[in-house]
Amino acid sequence: MSLPNQADEGITFDTFMEGVWRQNPVFVMVLGMCPTLAVTVSAVNGLSMGVATLFVLVSSCLLVSLIRHLVPKEVRIATYIVIIATFVTLVDYLIQAASLALYEALGAFIQLIVVNCIILGRAEAHASKNPPLKAVVNALGMGVGFAIGLFALGATREILGAGKLFGITLFGDNFQPWVVMVLPPGGFFVLGGWLLLFALLRSRKEGKVQA
């Protein structure tokens, strides 16, 4: 998917909303599927993974945008990766300090934010061509969109797979958990369901525009 080059436009509401809705990383671009499928077994896991990614995304886009005139073209990808890895290390230690249980639940996927294609994609396609403020607003939108996506998946899987949301029992003790939903196949089923819903919404919207 080619991303539009918005180098010469000012900051609009769409700069932010692009990532939340029109180019949503999870539901529209289907990027970063590795954490999306692997850690979203509960709403808490999904949301914290989303927030961690949001933080790394915004900080690295800000830095990439600030130094965009200093980095030679030939080494830009390596530079971006070093910047991203720095912030990931920060997040890694922060989560470990805040909650060891959460850290263990997310496992290697925190470190793997380094290779999350949304972040490198934003740095390359947007932050390296735009002034810092615009880059941050756009990254914020993308991060929020990603976090919403992970939360939606995590909540659906937790409700069906355990009958809970944020650890609170929803349907009483007699609820029959759908074991498959917390297993890897459940991730694919739920993601497929959400993609279907989004495709349906978009096709309706396009239909209206044409009519």
* Residues within the interface to another protein (CB under 8 A): 171, 174-176, 178-181, 183, 185, 189
Please say whether the beta carbons of 24 and 143 come within 8 A. Answer: no
Supply the minimum distance, in Å, between the C-beta of residue 176 and another protein.
4
Please say whether the beta carbons of 30 and 195 come within 8 A. Answer: yes
The tokens describing 145, both together, are 């969109």
Q: Which is nearer to another protein, 101 or 168 (CB)?
A: 168
In whole angstroms, give the CA distance from residue 201 to residue 192: 14
In whole angstroms, give the CA distance from residue 29 to residue 45: 22
Supply the minimum distance, in Å, between the C-beta of residue 30 and another protein.
17
CA 100 to chain centre: 22
Supply the minimum distance, in Å, between the C-beta of residue 164 and another protein.
13
In whole angstroms, give the CA distance from residue 98 to residue 143: 21
CA-based nearest residue to 123, from 90, 82, 95: 82
Q: Which is nearer to another protein, 21 or 175 (CB)?
A: 175
In whole angstroms, give the CA distance from residue 56 to residue 54: 6
Q: Which is nearer to another protein, 55 or 175 (CB)?
A: 175
Supply the minimum distance, in Å, between the C-beta of residue 107 and another protein.
23
Supply the minimum distance, in Å, between the C-beta of residue 166 and another protein.
19
CA-based nearest residue to 63, from 29, 95, 90: 90
Supply the minimum distance, in Å, between the C-beta of residue 79 and another protein.
44
Q: Which is nearer to another protein, 32 or 163 (CB)?
A: 163
Q: How far is CA 73 from CA 167, 199, 209, in A?
A: 48, 37, 41
Q: Which is nearer to another protein, 100 or 179 (CB)?
A: 179
Q: Which is nearer to another protein, 8 or 173 (CB)?
A: 173
